[in-house]
Amino acid sequence: MFNTRIIFWVIAFASVIGAVILITPFLPAILWATVFSILMYPTYLKLRKKNWPANVAALTVTLAPLLLVITPLAVFGTFGGIQVYEYVNSWVAESKANGEQDFLVTAATQLDTLIEPILSQMGVKNFDLVQIINENKDQLAKNITGPLTKGLSSFVVMIVTLVISVLTTFFMVRDSHHLLDPVSDIIPLPKDQTRDILNRMARTVRSVFFAVFIVAILQGFLCGMAFLVAGVEAWLVLMLAATVAAMIPLLGAPTVYVPVGLLLILNHKPVAGVSILVFGFLVVSQLDNFLRPYFIGKETKIHSMAIFFSLLGGVLVMGPVGLMAGPMLLTLILAITDVLRAKEQNEEQEENGPEPQPA
């Protein structure tokens, strides 16, 4: 009997480990699917109330946001790529006009011209980026090959993750009401407390989505409009860069608009440069101080500092999906803590007995 029980638990433990190993490669896709399904499930319920078939409603709420996201990205990415292509062609043409065939040297020469005033004020002299490149061309070529290969591999993984996320989102949205009871049975808590925890996590996902992604898109758009008005030629590429930077804790839109403003000032365009810096500090960056705390605090009731560290830790550990997974984990921990605290208070009240009624 004893040996049979040991064998059972060994097999059960090995099965759990095997399941974890099988799921681990798909964990980012599952997490993104969880986020998307939470965001779109209220819309799915509205469509079902209008007598839409379950499959049609689930497919609609799965593909519609995907098209709304992919279409702008494709448009902006295409125009951004055109801008980059035009700059590369202009640099190559300039290098040929100067009798040089090395595009990298031409770009380094222009960069030397831009940063020389800054380095001189910092006391750095005799800095020659062109000389450094000429002395390390072979090593640079080897170092570039690796990131390019890795970047191509990451792109393929991203496409596969997206496809798996879309399929998983469809089934999560359509069958979520069937999945809720098994999940509640697995969690060793009363069903009402389990549902409360899941609802809190759903509210966290929605609030963090608006606080991170919507605010970042708004910041990137404002930066892009400022660059366009200031006459920055690569305004579209810089707008995309500002949007991505605004999503990442510790970076933010200032990592884009501050260098742009300083470069405009150094290129004898002080009005445009100062205008971008002032607009960035007074308008773009202030969205972090007003809108993000509003979105996060309105639903989650969690301190902004705790959300910040959960975002930062999630990104460092899990990559982009950590922007949502970090706050979800924080909410889960806080919810379980509240449940344990309430349970402890109930036990203390039972031990002490009911308070005596006044005579």
DSSP assignment of 213-271 equals IIHHHHHHHHHHHHHHHHT-TTHHHHHHHHHHHHHSTTT-THHHHHHHHHHHHHTT-HH
Angle subtended at Cα 315 by Cα 312 and Cα 317, rounded to the nearest 5 degrees: 105
Tell me what the mean pLDDT of segment 135-158 comes to: 63
Counting runs of H as helices and runs of E as strands, what totals does the chain give?
14, 0
Whether 357 is in a domain gets the answer no
Cα–Cα distance for residue pair 281/84, rounded to 1 Å: 27
Does residue 1 fall inside a structural domain? no
pLDDT value of residue 358:
54
pTM score of the predicted model: 0.66
Q: What are phi and psi of 232, to 5 degrees?
A: -75, 125
On whether residue 17 sits in a domain, the answer given is no
Lowest-pLDDT range of 126-130, 161-165, 188-192: 126-130
Which of 116-120, 203-207, 349-353 has the largest mean confidence?
A: 203-207
| Co-location of 288 and 207 in the same domain | yes
In this prediction, residue 101 carries a pLDDT of: 46
Identify the domain containing residue 264 by its residue range.
187-342
Total domains in the chain come to: 2
CA distance 300 to 310: 13
Q: Residue 38: how many CA atoms within 13 Å on its side-chain side?
A: 21
- Lowest mean per-residue pLDDT among 123-132, 208-217, 277-286: 123-132
- pLDDT average, residue stretch 48-71: 84
Is 6 inside a domain boundary?
no
**The predicted structure's pLDDT at residue 143:** 60
Residue 304, Cβ density class (10 Å: 0-12 exposed, 13-18 middle, ≥19 buried): middle
Q: Are 22 and 30 in contact (CB under 8 A)?
A: no
Buried b (16+ CB within 10 A) or exposed e, 14-43: eeeeeeeeeeeeeebbbbbbbbbbbbbbee
pLDDT at 252 over 70: yes
Residues 208 and 319 in one domain: yes
Same domain membership, residue 127 and residue 193: no
Q: How confident is the model at residue 132, as a pLDDT?
A: 67
12 domain-assigned: no
Structure tokens at 160: 């596969």
Are 72 and 80 contacting, i.e. CB atoms less than 8 angstroms apart? no
On whether both 160 and 210 belong to a single domain, the answer is no
Q: What are phi and psi of 277, to 5 degrees?
A: -65, -45
Higher pLDDT, 219 or 289: 219
| Whole-number pLDDT of residue 279 | 93
171 and 228 assigned to the same domain: no
The reply to whether 110 and 195 lie within a common domain is: no
pLDDT digit string, tens, across residues 73-112? 666 666 666 666 666 666 556 655 655 445 556 566 666 6
- Average pLDDT of the segment spanning 348-352: 69
